[in-house]
């Protein structure tokens, strides 16, 4: 089979299966991985497919910038965020009612909840709603609001009104930065309405923030450290910040 025929056959398979592993193509067509990659490169040059982490899929017809925004499935993460997410998940039991804020660390938390059942989950994060809504015993409620592609979430006053009259067991709140001068801060004033409403709706508030967030001040100061019951963080938290938090009544949970 010549390359032109093989690339057409590859394209037909991708059309049918939507997402195909390169190793599967190599096995099916009886050629080496370098040869398959060369075939895929040719299909990419023609704008017909795209390679994604060892797989190949159809090229979306959307403009590239919009495509990146809407197809984003993974937020930038780190080992510290993963550890914090795992620790925070251990604080949630089957049957709990929780609010999950948007962000990379809360997404790590959500990944560790996929075995939990009968949760009542309220979130402003589209990716978290999709992930945890896959469990049929969970009830997932997604707020309205203004879509923010960078966090795959919605925010603003419309999102905040969703929490009026609501009461849940636990809130897991994200932070853009935490400083002694400004408390919690976020990149945009639009975020402040929904964060305040989340806190008002929860019996117990957990702040999820890795040690790199401390000493960092984002554009919009929120304060609110007096409303935080627990901080879940990593071992890199400095002793000065640890004392400040303890003195202000926040209990520290290390991942």
- 154 in a domain, yes or no? yes
Q: What is the CA radius of gyration of the chain?
A: 22
What pLDDT is stored for residue 19 in this prediction? 84
- 51 in a domain, yes or no? yes
For 46-66, what is the mean pLDDT?
A: 70
pLDDT tens digits, 178-200? 999 999 999 888 899 999 999 99
Same domain, 130 and 245: yes
- 196 in a domain, yes or no? yes
What pLDDT is stored for residue 175 in this prediction? 95
Does the structure show a pLDDT above 50 at 66? no
DSSP of the chain: --HHHHHHHHHHHHHHHSEEEHHHHHHHHT--HHHHHHHHHHHHHTTSEEEETTEEEEPPSS-HHHHHHHH-------HHHHHHHHHHHTT--TT-EEEE--SHHHHHHHHTTTT--S-EEEESBHHHHHHHHTSTT-EEEE--SEEETTTTEEESHHHHHTTTT--EEEEEE--SEEETTTEEEES-THHHHHHHHHHHTEEEEEEE--GGGBT---SEEEE-GGG-SEEEE-TT--HHHHHHHHHTTPEEEE-
- 33 in a domain, yes or no? yes
The count of structural domains within the chain is: 2
Same domain, 232 and 114: yes
- 238 in a domain, yes or no? yes
Same domain, 49 and 91: no
Its domain, for residue 91, covers 79-254
Same domain, 49 and 106: no
Return the CATH number at 13.
1.10.10.10
Does the structure show a pLDDT above 90 at 157? no
Same domain, 87 and 174: yes
């Amino acid at each position: 089979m010549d390359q032109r025929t093989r690339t057409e056959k590859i394209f037909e398979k991708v059309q049918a299966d939507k997402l195909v592993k390169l190793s599967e193509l190599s096995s099916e067509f009886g050629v080496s991985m370098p040869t398959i990659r060369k075939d895929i490169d040719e299909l990419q040059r023609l704008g017909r497919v795209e390679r994604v982490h060892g797989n190949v899929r159809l090229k979306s017809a959307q403009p590239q910038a919009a495509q990146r925004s809407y197809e984003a499935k993974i937020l930038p993460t780190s080992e510290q965020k993963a550890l914090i997410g795992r620790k925070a998940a251990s604080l949630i039991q089957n049957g709990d009612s929780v609010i999950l804020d948007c962000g990379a660390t809360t997404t790590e938390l959500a990944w560790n909840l996929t075995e939990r059942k009968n949760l009542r989950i309220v979130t402003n994060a589209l990716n978290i709603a999709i992930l945890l809504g896959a469990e049929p015993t969970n009830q997932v409620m997604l707020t309205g609001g203004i879509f923010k592609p960078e966090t795959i979430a919605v925010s603003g006053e419309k999102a905040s009104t969703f929490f009026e009259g609501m009461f849940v067991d636990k809130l897991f709140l994200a932070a853009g930065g935490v400083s002694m001068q400004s408390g919690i801060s976020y990149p945009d004033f639009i975020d402040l309405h929904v964060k305040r409403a989340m806190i008002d709706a929860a019996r117990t508030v957990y702040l999820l923030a890795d040690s790199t967030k401390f000493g960092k001040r984002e554009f919009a100061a929120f304060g609110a450290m007096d409303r935080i019951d627990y901080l879940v963080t990593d071992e890199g938290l400095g002793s000065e910040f640890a004392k400040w938090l303890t003195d202000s009544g926040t209990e520290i949970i290390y991942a």
